[in-house]
Amino acid sequence: YEITVALDPAFTVGPVDPRLFGSFVEHMGRCVYGGIFEPDHPTADEHGFRKDVAALVAELGTTVIRYPGGNFVSGYRWEDGVGPVENRPRRLDLAWRSIEPNTVGVDEFTRWARGVGIDPIMAVNLGTRGVRAAVDLLEYCNLPAGSTAMADWRARNGRPEPHAVRTWCLGNELDGPWQIGHKTADEYGRLAAETARAMRRADPDIELVACGSSNSGMPTFGSWERTVLEHTYDLVDHISLHAYYEPIDGDVDSFLASSENMRSMIDAVTATADHVAATTRSRKRLTVSFDEWNVWYQNRFPGEDGLEVRDGGPLIEDTFDVADAVVVGDLLMALLDKCDRVAIACQAQLVNVIGLIRTEPGGSAWRQTTFHPFALTARHARGTTLRTAVSTPALATARHGDVPAARVTAVHDAESGELVLLATNRHRTDPARLNASLASFGVTDDALIEHVTIADADPHATNTAEHPDRIHPRPVSGTEIADGRLTATLAPLSWHLIRIR
């Protein structure tokens, strides 16, 4: 089938915030312990962090990482994780019914993140704690040594320079009955407002994220945001959204079009935020922090209720295939297309726990299939998202109705002159012929830098410890530019990156 695309550098959506390429590290399963941190591993650095994992994280190009949860944060006492390691308590983490040794805490995580060139995003516990603990953590992280007892405590713990954490999440998924300290929208809205007010007094330069809905299927989706923002609108910068996707009842076509749900969630939440702005006559416009998103086969996860308390070990270590990678690439394209209203996005999670990277204890670390669309998008989709006029046939899906058979996203870097086209062919059997009109870019016939794809004859192919590079980006032949027109073939069920200058 045919896809035609018209583009013009003057027709823009908005600048791409580099924080769209964020990830998430939670104290859960083997994300921290046995993931980024494994002191006995042959590649461990002097602080116990795996250098092989850090190298893959650097290659991934993630810009920000949300920490330390997730459901975990709603029971967390951050003070347990600072100071001499031998004095730190072992605690029962109620979220994942796991023993938390507190070997890694705020100081270790921020040092590791900064070492890999990543800005930490910190979440505070508004499940079982409140204003005081949140402000203490903020002072601990951001105030200069010599200013307050909390800042001096950090200095005594060997970190004289502030951690300088700019973005803060006011709790996690407090709309969810599974959350420790679950709240009604009014209860949470009040607490979030009071916490935000106090945190801003301690550090006026921070950005704050209010908790939105845990997914669009929540019974309170929409009304939660409205009520929370009625309490917090003037005090926060972003409202969060979370979404995980999987084929439900074997419905692969709907799964491949998951980003249609992500797109409508963003539209619904920003419309709700704008409604609150209208009622308060506010000119301020909130943006979304899509601070958990991914493919997650939740149907394989029995939940933690009633299970034995765990002391380490794996949790939700999905092995992703080619179809999952196409969906991840497509979700990133939705975030880019909506970059005028999405400022932050965190793929969840970084390592092992539905991770882009997988590790073996004492052994190797490798890239999951989903690593590749993320890394290539994070590296190349910089600048300004363009409006695309795309014409493509529709595919019928049970969950999302008729959806475009293909999606095309364009990001233009005016400084370097590079134009990046990202594309997915969601059709499982039919190739697509892409025909993009680039005349207004003044491209010459030799302007193609590269065209690579994630695709395979076997959509269920995966990367494993034994075959870590079974799936990797491959060059596509036959792509051409002639007279300002790009033509390319997109294989069935595939994700693409096309770079032009």
Which residues lie near ligand AHR (CB under 6 A)? 26, 69-71, 172-173, 214, 292, 348-349
Closest CA to 83 of 27, 158, 134, 143: 158
**Residue 31: other Cβ atoms inside 10 A:** 31
Closest CA to 135 of 195, 210, 208: 195
How far is residue 414's CA from residue 430's CA, in Å, rounded to a whole number?
34
For residue 323, the minimal CB distance to ligand AHR (Å) is 20
Judge whether 292 counts as a catalytic residue.
yes
Q: Closer to ligand AHR at the Cβ: 31 or 419?
A: 31
Q: Closer to ligand AHR at the Cβ: 110 or 349?
A: 349
Q: Closer to ligand AHR at the Cβ: 16 or 243?
A: 243
Q: Closer to ligand AHR at the Cβ: 48 or 70?
A: 70
Contact call for residues 460 and 323 (beta carbons, < 8 A):
yes
Q: Closer to ligand AHR at the Cβ: 69 or 162?
A: 69
Chain-centroid distance of CA 32 in Å reads 17
Residue of minimal CB distance from ligand AHR? 70
Half-sphere exposure of 248 (CA within 13 A, CB side): 9
79, 173, 207, 260: which one is catalytic?
173
Judge whether 308 counts as a catalytic residue.
no
**H or E element: which one contains 289?**
strand 287-295
185-202 and 131-142 helices cross at what angle (nearest 10)?
Answer: 30
How far is residue 4's CA from residue 61's CA, in Å, rounded to a whole number?
31
For residue 244, the minimal CB distance to ligand AHR (Å) is 7
- 372: amino acid identity, one letter: H
**Residue 467: other Cβ atoms inside 10 A:** 11
**H or E element: which one contains 138?**
helix 131-142
For residue 355, the minimal CB distance to ligand AHR (Å) is 10
For residue 63, the minimal CB distance to ligand AHR (Å) is 19
- 94: amino acid identity, one letter: L
For residue 465, the minimal CB distance to ligand AHR (Å) is 23
The backbone region for 335, taken as left when phi is positive above 0, alpha when psi lies in -120 to 50, beta otherwise, is: alpha
38, 100, 260, 292: which one is catalytic?
292
For residue 79, the minimal CB distance to ligand AHR (Å) is 21
Could you give the residue numbers annotated as active site? 173, 292
